Structure 1
Amino acid sequence: MQLQFGDERYLTNDGQLKTPLALVFVLALFLRGYIAWIISLTFSEDRSRLLQFFYANTEQFVLTLSVGLPALAVLVMLTQMKNELPGWVPKFARIAPWLLWASWLADGVLLVSLVAGNWPHFAFVKALIIFSWLVAFWLLLYSRHLRRFFQLLASDQHREKG
């Protein structure tokens, strides 16, 4: 795939691909269990206090971590974006959107079970997560930037060969 007019917005001055903000948002949503876990590790006295604020029991926390596994694989792929890409990155970039959709679907099932478990009670945090989940749906479905980013990464033609 050749670079097209307008693709310069996806590249840095060095010719490296820039990670779109939409992808950062989607990954942060799906990896929220891992983010909460890492933040909870900074508490010195009671590390489970933050996790108990977001998750009613250990099963919810473990389910949130399992929902984030496909997104975690995409994050690992993004850490490999260097001058010389490993050979598996362009191949993996072809399936990365499908992994994000799998995380989105699994997260939706988890959110439905959480809302159904606490049905008449309103929780602002859960409402914010549901809204973010719907925004992630919109981004995964309609974002040209995400689509083009994965196309450029999969093609590996964005680099100057010299």
Structure 2
Amino acid sequence: MQLQLGDERYITADGQLRTPLALMFVLALFLRGYLAWIISLTFSEDRSRLLQFFYSNTEQFVLTLSVGLPALAVVVMLTQIKADMPAWVPRFARIAPVLLWLSWLADGVLLFSLVAANWPHFAFVKALIIFAWLIAFWLLLYSRHLKRFFELLASEKASDEG
């Protein structure tokens, strides 16, 4: 790994890469269906009650889960960041931003369809999700931390081979 001046914020005291908070925010946004599903599993009486609060029908819930699949692959990659990481992780880090953009686009289509279906009615939760979606756009487009994190992660293989 070729470190530059200022890269110390991306490295822990142990020398491991630190996952940026912006990436955690983007992943939480795209994986909100999985997070709601996990939280609903903690309800002992009616597990579908929480899901019915966020999703009016089963199709919306399944679509939200499918939107999160590329982001879920990025989460699996992040779990493998360690001292002796597998060889596929640096290669996968090169395509991880593309997967996040695919999730962003699919989430935008889903959000547009939800807003169009309930057009005259204002929903504060949907407005917050749209605002978070726009913040994710800004982070994916302009965040130096995300770009440098993926560059450093992708360069791990080059430093291991050299």
Hey, what does 1:46 align to over in structure 2? 46
Please give the alpha-carbon distance, in whole angstroms, between the structure 2 residues aligned to 1:20 and 1:42: 28
SS in 1 for 2:99: helix
Please give the alpha-carbon distance, in whole angstroms, between the structure 1 residues aligned to 2:160 and 2:96: 24
The CA RMSD over aligned residues, in Å, is: 1.6
Instruction: Please give the TM-score of this superposition, normalised by the length of structure 1.
Output: 0.96
Hey, what does 1:108 align to over in structure 2? 108
| Residue 140 (structure 1) shift | 0.1
State the one-letter code of the partner of 1:64: T
Equivalent pairs counted in the alignment come to 161
Hey, what does 1:89 align to over in structure 2? 89
Question: Which digits, 9 at most, give the CA deviation of each residue in 1:87-125, with x for residues without a partner?
Answer: 000000000000000000000000000000000000000
- After superposition, residues 5-154 of structure 1 pair within 5 angstroms as 5-154=5-154
Instruction: Please give the TM-score of this superposition, normalised by the length of structure 2.
Output: 0.96
Please give the alpha-carbon distance, in whole angstroms, between the structure 2 residues aligned to 1:2 and 1:44: 50
Contact 1:36 1:50 in 2 (8 A): yes
**Which residues of structure 1 form unaligned runs of 5+?**
none
% identical equivalent positions: 83
Please give the alpha-carbon distance, in whole angstroms, between the structure 1 residues aligned to 2:19 and 2:159: 15
Please give the alpha-carbon distance, in whole angstroms, between the structure 2 residues aligned to 1:17 and 1:145: 12
| Residue 2 (structure 1) shift | 1.6
SS in 2 for 1:95: helix
Please give the alpha-carbon distance, in whole angstroms, between the structure 1 residues aligned to 2:159 and 2:149: 13
State the one-letter code of the partner of 1:59: E
Question: Which digits, 9 at most, give the CA deviation of each residue in 1:36-80, with x for residues without a partner?
Answer: 000000000000000000000000000000000000000000000
Please give the alpha-carbon distance, in whole angstroms, between the structure 1 residues aligned to 2:7 and 2:157: 12
Contact 1:93 1:150 in 2 (8 A): yes
State the one-letter code of the partner of 1:137: F
Contact 1:90 1:156 in 2 (8 A): yes
Runs of 4+ in 1 over 2 A off after TM superposition: 157-161
